[in-house]
Amino acid sequence: MITRREVLKSAAAPMIVPSLVLGQRAGAVPPSDQIVFGGIGIGARGAHVLSKLLTFRQARFIAVCDVRNERREEVKSMVDQKYGNHDCQMYDDQFALLARQDIDAVLIATGDRWHTPLAILAAQHGKDVYCEKPCSMSMEESWALADAFRRYNRIYQAGCQRRNGANFELCKELLKSGALGKLQTLYANVGPSVNWPPLPSRDWLAAEEPPPRQVLDWERWLGPAPWRPYNSAYVRGGWRNFYDFHGGGILEWGSHTVDLCQWAAEFDDTQPVEYEPVGANTGPYKVLCKYANGVNLVMRDDGWDGSLKTGSCSFRIEGDKGWVETGDATRIESSDNIKPLLRPTEPASLALVNHVADLLRCIKTRQAPSASAAAAANSHITCHAAFIAYQRGKKLAWDPGKREFTNDDIANRMRSRALREPWRV
Amino acid sequence: MQQTTQPAPAAQAAKPKPPSPPPAFQEGDIARMDAPALAGVLTDARSTEFQKAKACQRIGELGAKEAVPALAALLGDEHLSTYARYGLEPIADPSADEALRAGLSKLKGNLLIGVINSIGKRRDAKAGPALAKMMYRADADVAAAAAAALGSIGGESSRKELQAALGKTKGTTRSAVACAALLCAERLLGEGKREQALALYASLSAPGMPQPARLAAMHGIIREETSINRPR
C-alpha cells in the first residue's frame, strides 16, 4: 500500500489547500471536480470539523441528516450561510441521504454507538467517509469496519487528527530517524478519569416522557444500542459514561493517544499481546501492555494536560537514547540530547485542517489516508483489549493473529456486543 | 532552537454529572451474581425489565448455557429482545443456535431481523435453508437481513443461494444480496475455494449489478489476481 507520505512527495498529487490560503477569488474549483459531502449526526464536534471542511473549495456540503430537528436546522443554517443560498437539504433518515447518487462522501459525527454501522452502510452505498472517534464500540465492530472499507475500496479517515499535527509528526520523525535510539516504551495518556472513568456505568437513568418524534426520534437516537427509557440527559451529551453508549475513558482518550503511539511506532497493523491493569479503583490507573517485539505501551491517567503540561491528549516515546513527549499545547518536552533537534511546529489548530486536507487528497488519489479504517481498527482493538482487561481485573494475553485472548474465556465473550434490531455490522 | 509554543489549554473542569440513576435502575448485585442466580432473575416473575436486561448481559459474558431457555423466552419482548441476544450470541453451546433458529418461525419485523442478525454472527449453517427462503419475503428488511446472514455463514450452499437470488431479486433486496455475496466470496477465499469466489465476483461485476457491489467485485478480482501470496 502506498503511504500518505509517499503520495505527498509525489509531484502528481493534487494540491489541496483551504480557500483562505488562496483568497476569495483564486483557486476556483469547477463543480465537476468538487467532492460532494453529506453529514450525519453533526453536533458540536461535527460542526467544528464541518467548519474546516467548508473552507476547502474542493469540497461542497449539500445535505445533513439528524434525528434531532434543532441539529438539522443548525447545520443547514451554518452551511447555507457559508454558501449564500438555501440549498442544504435536511433528512431524518440516513438511508435517504445515503441513497443520493450525487453525494461522494459522508461526514459522520454521531454518538459512538452509530459510528461503525453508519460507516459500513456508507461504504455499501459507495461513499467515502470521515468519521469521528471512537470509531467502534467493540473489537468485532473494528474488524467489520476495516473489512468493509477494504472490500468496497472506499476511503475512510478516522477523526484522529493528531496524526496530521506537526508536533506529533516531529516526535514520530525523531523515533524513525534513530535519534531516540531503540524504541523501549510508548506512553498514552488515557486520563483524566475524572471526566471519563475507565469503567462506565451499566445503570439507567430515570424514565422521562420522550419529546414528539418530529423533535427527537428516540428510537433512532438509540439506534444500535440496547433499548432503555428516554432521559433528556443522554441527549444533552450525558450518554458518555454509560456502558451501552460508551467505551469508557480508555477508549475515549485512547482512540487519540493509543492511536498516536501505534502510528508513531509504525504498529498500525497490530496490537499488544499483553494487557495488565494496575491501580484499578485506587486512583490514577494504568494498563501495562507489551507488543510481541518487546516494546511496552503504558496507558496511564496522567491528568488533563499531562504531568509535563504538554496539553491534552499527550503521548510520550522513550528510546534507549532519549525521549520526547508532546500534546495539544504543541510544545515538545524531551531529554537534553534531543533538544537541539527540535524545531518550531505549527499551531495545534492546523492539525484538523491538515487532516481534512489529507482526506480530500486521498479521495482524489484513492490512496490510504493517515487514519485509515485498518489503522484505526487496530488502535481501537488495542483500546478495547485494555478496557476488557480493566473490567476483568486481571492480566490478559492476546493473540492478534487469532483475534482471541488466550487465557480468559469471559474476555473472549466481551469481544462483541449485540446490536439492537434491525442494525448489524 | 526556540519552539513555537502555545499555552496549554486550561485544565478542563469535570463535566457536569448527569442525574444519578434511581435505585430501581442500578445494576448493583447483579454484576456479581453467578450463572444460576442470573438465570433465576430471568425466570422470577418479580424481576423488573431493568433487572432482566442486566442479567442477560452478564449471562452472555459468563456464557451460561443453562440460561438459554430463559433467554429464548425473551426474544419476543420488544424491549428485552436485544438483551436476550446479548446473552445468547456469546454462548458456545448449540442450544443457543437452536433457540435462535426457533425464533425464525415465531417472530416478525425487527425482532425477527435481530434473530437473523445473531444467526449470521454465529454463522449457523443449519439455518441456511430457512434463510434462503426468507430472501424472497415481501418485507425487504427481513429479506436483506437473511441475505446478510447467508453471506456471513458463507460456504458453497450460501454461494448457490446468493448467486440465484442475484437474478431473482430487485431493488434494495438485490443490493443487500450483492453485499452479502461479496462477503460470501471472501469467506470462500478464506476456505481456499478460490474458483468459486472468483466466479461469484464475476457474477457481481456484470453490468446491471448495483454499482458499489460491482466496483467492489472488480476490486476483489484485481486484489486476488495480484495477490503476492498466490503462486503465479
Quote the minimal CA–CA distance from A182 to chain B in Å: 25
Name the CATH code of domain B123-232 (choices 1.25.10, 3.40.50, 1.10.1740, 1.10.3470). Answer: 1.25.10
**What is the model's pLDDT at position A152?**
97
Give A291 to chain B, closest Cα distance, Å. 25
Provide, as residue numbers in chain B, all residues whose Cβ is less than 8 Å from the Cβ of A203. 21, 25-27
Residues whose CB falls within 8 Å of the CB of residue A292, separated by 6 or more in sequence, listed in order:
A270, A272, A273, A400
Residue whose C-alpha is closest to residue A343's, from A164, A160, A163, A169: A169
Widest Cα–Cα separation across chain B? 73
Q: At what angle do helices B94-104 and B81-88 cross, to 10 degrees?
A: 150
Q: Which CATH number covers residue A38?
A: 3.40.50.720
Distance, in Å, from the CA atom of A210 to the CA atom of A367, rounded to the nearest integer, reads 45
The reply to whether A131 falls in a domain is yes
Per-residue model confidence (pLDDT) at position B230: 58
Tell whether A322 is covered by a domain.
no
Q: Is the pLDDT of residue B190 over 50?
A: yes
Measured between CA atoms, the residue of chain B closest to residue A126 is B212
Give the pLDDT score at B10.
Answer: 45
CA distance A58 to chain B (A): 23
Same fold, B28-107 and B123-232: yes
With a cut of 80, say whether residue B231 has pLDDT above it: no
Kindly tell me if the per-residue pLDDT of B7 is higher than 50.
no
What is d(CA B144, CA B107) in angstroms, rounded to the nearest whole number? 16
Asked if residue A157 is part of any domain, the answer here is: yes
pLDDT computed for residue A25 by the predictor: 47
Give the pLDDT band (50/70/90) at residue A191: confident
In one-letter notation, the amino acid at residue A61 is F
- Alpha-carbon gap: A219 to the closest alpha carbon of chain B (Å): 11
Q: What share of chain A is helix, strand, coil (3-state, %, to 5)?
A: 40, 15, 45
Measure A14 CA to nearest chain B CA, in Å.
23
Mean pLDDT value of segment A98-119 = 98
In the predicted structure, residue B137 carries a pLDDT above the cut 90: yes
Residues of B with Cβ-Cβ distance to A344 under 8 angstroms: 1-4
pLDDT of residue A19: 60
Identity of the residue in B8, B86, B111 whose CB atom sits nearest the CB atom of A305: B8
Task: Answer yes or no: is A335 within a domain.
Answer: no
Task: Write out the residue range of the structural domain in which residue A42 sits.
Answer: 4-163+352-373
Query: How high is the ipTM of this complex?
Result: 0.92
What average pLDDT is seen over chain A?
Answer: 93
pLDDT 10s digits, A258-311: 999 999 999 999 999 999 999 877 778 999 999 999 999 999 999 989 999 999
pLDDT of residue A398 exceeding 70: yes
CB atoms within 10 A of CB B108: 10
The shortest C-alpha distance from A80 to chain B (Å) reads 30
Mutate to test the interface with B, among A149, A302, A424 (most CBs of B within 10 A): A424
> Residue B173 — very low, low, confident or very high, per pLDDT cuts 50/70/90?
very high
Q: What angle, rounded to 10 degrees, do the helices at B211-225 and B194-204 form? A: 150
Q: Is the pLDDT of residue A7 over 50?
A: no
Pick from A152, A412, A423: CB nearest B212? A152
pLDDT for the residue numbered B18: 72
Could you say which DSSP state residue A199 is in?
S
Taking only the tens place, the pLDDT of each residue in A24-59 is: 445 678 887 899 999 999 999 999 999 999 999 999
Partner residues linked to A300 by β-bridges:
A189, A286
pLDDT tens for each residue of B94-132: 999 999 999 999 999 999 999 999 999 999 999 999 999
pLDDT recorded at residue A29 = 81
Domains of chain B, residue spans:
28-107, 123-232
Is residue A295 included in any domain, yes or no?
Answer: no
The pLDDT confidence band at residue A228, using thresholds 50, 70 and 90, is very high
Q: B28-107: which CATH number, 3.30.1390, 2.40.160, 3.40.1350, 1.25.10?
A: 1.25.10
Which residue out of B6, B27, B131, B200 would a mutagenesis test of the A interface target, given it has the greatest number of A Cβ atoms within 10 Å?
B6
Chain-chain contact of A346 with B83 (C-beta, under 8 angstroms): no
Say whether A328 and B85 touch across the interface (CB within 8 A).
no
Q: How many domains does chain A have?
A: 1
- Percent of chain B with pLDDT strictly greater than 90: 88
- How many beta-carbon pairs under 8 angstroms link A with B? 158
pLDDT at B27 over 90: yes
Higher-confidence position of A29 and B162: B162
CB A330 within 8 A of CB A347: yes
CB–CB contact A345 B4 (8 Å) = yes
Instruction: Give CA–CA dist A127/A38, Å, rounded.
Output: 10
SS3 A298: strand
Phi then psi dihedrals of residue B11, to 5 deg: -55, 125
pLDDT tens-digit profile of A315-368? Answer: 999 999 999 999 999 999 999 999 999 998 888 889 999 999 999 999 999 999
* Binary contact (B18, A422; C-beta < 8 A): no
Asked if A424 lies within 8 A of B8 by C-beta distance, the reply is no
Here the contacts of A90-97 (C-beta below 8 Å, separation 24 or greater) are A90/A63, A90/A64, A90/A65, A90/A66, A91/A63, A91/A64, A91/A65, A92/A65, A92/A66, A92/A67, A92/A217, A92/A220, A93/A65, A94/A40, A94/A65, A94/A118, A94/A121, A95/A121, A96/A65, A97/A38, A97/A40, A97/A63, A97/A64, A97/A65
| Residue B169 Cα, gap to closest chain A Cα (Å) | 18
Instruction: For A138-192, list the strands marked E by DSSP.
Output: 156-158, 183-189
pTM of the predicted structure, to 2 decimals: 0.93
Q: Of B4, B22, B89, which has the smallest distance from its Cβ to A418's Cβ? A: B89
What are φ and ψ of residue A300, in 5° steps? Answer: -140, 145
B117 contacts B145 by C-beta, under 8 angstroms: yes
In a domain, A36, yes or no: yes
Q: Are A234 and A178 in contact (CB under 8 A)?
A: no
Checking if the pLDDT of A9 tops 50, the result is no
Q: Are A195 and B83 within 8 A, CB to CB? A: no
**Strands of A272-386, DSSP E:** 274-278, 286-290, 296-300, 315-319, 323-326, 332-334
Domain for residue A115, yes or no? yes
Residues 160-219 of B with CB under 8 A from A: 175, 179, 182-183, 186, 211-212, 215-216, 219
Q: Is B148 in Cβ contact with A231 (below 8 Å)?
A: no
What CA–CA distance (Å, rounded) separates A198 from A288? 14
Cβ distance A206 to B63 less than 8 Å, yes or no, reads no
Torsion, CA A197, CA A200, CA A203, CA A205, rounded to 10: 70
The answer to whether residue A394 sits within a structural domain is no
